[in-house]
Each structure stands twice: as C-alpha cells, then as structure tokens.
Amino acid sequence: MIVTLTANPSLDRTATLDRPLTRGDVHRVSSVTVEPGGKGINVARVVHYAGHPVRAILPAASDDQILRGLDALRVPYRSVPLAESVRTNLTLTEPDGTTTKINEPGPSLAADVIERLAHLLVLESERADWVVLSGSLPPGVPAGWYADLVRALRPWGCRIAVDTSDAPLLALAAQFPEAAPDLLKPNSEELAQLTGADADSLERSAAAGDPGPCVEAARSLVERGVGAVMATLGGAGAVLVTPEGAWHASPPPVTVRSTVGAGDSSVAGYVLAHTRELAAPDRLRLAVAYGSAAASLAGTALPQPDQLDTASAIVRSVH
C-alpha cells in the first residue's frame, strides 16, 4: 500500500493554447480539461494506474467536485470534511510544451482539520509501505508540519517521501536528521534552496553532461540524514544519491507537451520501483521514464504503464 497526503488539493483546469502566450492579447484554446489534482493526488493517480494499492488523503467537503473526480477515476481516498471548496488552479499550455501555472492559495485549514488529517494519516500508515507527503501547505498550516508528520510516522516503520518547496521545505531541512525522510525529491530550484547552489548552474552542468554539481549538492543532504535524494532536472534528467552511491539518468527522447505532473510521476515511479525491490539505478530509471511520459502528455494527463519507455532512460554511475 502507498498512501499520499495532499493538504492543499486542487481542481486542475488546463487550457491548451493555439499559439504562444502573449501578455495582454486575446487567445483561443483548443481544449480544456478539469481533473482532480495536487501533487499527492497526482502521485496516487499514477500509482493507481499501475495497479498498485494506494490511498489518497485530503481535506474536502463530501460534495466537492474533486471527490467526484476521484470517484470517476476510481482512485481510493479518505477525506477530512471542509466547509469551503478546494482551490482551482489554472494551467496554460502552449504548442511547444511551455507551461504557465496560476495557482490559488487554497482554503485555510482550521486547527481541528489539521489534527484530523494528521490522525488519519498515521492510522493509514499502519498498512503502508510508503507514505508520500507532497505539495504546498495551505493557509493555516504551520511551515513545520511536514517535519512533525515525519517524526509521527517514523515509529510505524513505513518509508516516507517528501516533495515540497519554499518555507515547508526549509522548515523540514532545519530539523534534519530527526525529520529526514527516506526520499526527498527536489527540483533544481529546491535543491538550490536547500544547499545554496545556483539552480540554473545545476541544470546547465547536467545538460552539458556533468551532473557532478547536482550530485554534490544532493550528497550534502544525504550526509544530513536523508535516505535518498532524487533531484529532477527537466530535460537534463535526474540524479539519485544514496549512502551507497550516485547515479544520473538521461531521459527518453520525447516531445514535451506539458510539464504538469512530471515530478509527481517521477515520485510515483520511484516508490513503485522500491516496492518491487528494484536496485537504486533501476528505481531512478523507472522514475525518469514516468516523468518523461508525463511530459509527453497534454494538459494534466498522467502516464500509464503502457506509455513508458524505460529502455531509453540511460542510467550511469557518477563518482
């Protein structure tokens, strides 16, 4: 069982433009989709499509459209009731795959809702191999909540993955090693936030065939207690660093249509690979294959196993 927590879920409304976005201009859209989203829900959807047991945990009113969307997709979930509707995020996708996201902050969570979410998560973790804590935190939730959850989950023996940014990420890192997860999934900007590196330089180096700076930045987090760091680098692939070694994966060749959900799909690929007891390089290969497949899909569509190209994801050891 894989359990995901999405404290700030959303209805993801994606509009595909007929030409490059121009500020102040009038645009036509070729298609519009509305799907249940938020990073943890995206992970749960990918895991569900792979046929692995999963449960998404989120706050939402019983009649909220997001729950009807999850029901339609047959994604198992448990929810804590809210008085307000979940947020709606807007994504504009251009013909070349350039993606512009406009995200609402989400409804504020009261203290009792926060407590009930944490309690539900701990209950579900008793049966979980992995618990994935993903995304931003909505108003009302302390920045250090993910760190609190990691400590609360640790006695139950499940593995914990965290994918977040900004204040929640920095608050989590401030409590390493006690709150260090088994997997941390930063992108280049988040890796830079944590280590003081330059995000653009990290991606440029990896794209030029030198993932060393990314590996060194990730290794500094492993040395602080994180079990594994998988840093996603867009078109430059991803690096994985564990206490046993470091690897870089070049992605399969794809035509990028939308980057929405690519990082979430990578997380899903990694935890799925771990449940299959794959070695670290193969976990990275599956993660990158999932992320690349997501990038090749339009809008907020997420990949299914038959859309993966694992053979073209090239993994090599980095010393």
List pLDDT tens digits, range 287-316: 999 999 999 987 778 999 999 999 999 999
Q: Is 25 a catalytic residue?
A: no
d(CA 252, CA 232): 14
Query: For residue 14, what pLDDT is reported?
Result: 86
Write out pLDDT tens, residues 225-244.
999 999 999 889 999 999 99
pLDDT digits (tens, 9 = 90+) for 17-53: 889 988 888 888 888 888 999 999 999 999 999 999 9
Model pLDDT, residue 298: 77
| Structural domain that includes position 84 | 2-22+29-317
Instruction: Over range 153-161, report the average pLDDT.
Output: 95
In this prediction, residues 142-168 reach a mean pLDDT of 97
| pLDDT band at residue 207 using 50, 70 and 90 as cut-offs | confident
Residue 142 pLDDT level (bands cut at 50, 70, 90): very high
Question: What's the domain count of the chain?
Answer: 1
Please give the mean pLDDT across all residues of the chain.
94
Q: Residue 276 belongs to a domain with what CATH number?
A: 3.40.1190.20
From the candidates 148, 198, 264, 309, which is the catalytic residue? Answer: 264
**What was the pLDDT predicted at 312?**
93
pTM: 0.94
What tokens does 86 get? 């979940």
Q: What average pLDDT does this structure show over 252-262?
A: 86
Q: Which one, of 90, 162, 172, 158, lies nearest residue 128 by Cα?
A: 158
Q: Is 26 exposed, middle or buried (0-12, 13-18, 19+ CB in 10 A)?
A: exposed
- Assess contact for 67 and 34: CB atoms under 8 A: no
pLDDT digits (tens, 9 = 90+) for 83-115: 999 999 988 888 887 888 898 899 999 999 999
Does 16 score more than 90 pLDDT? no
Q: What is the DSSP string of 285-311?
A: HHHHHHHHHHHTSSTT----GGG--GG
Give the pLDDT mean for 184-194. Answer: 96
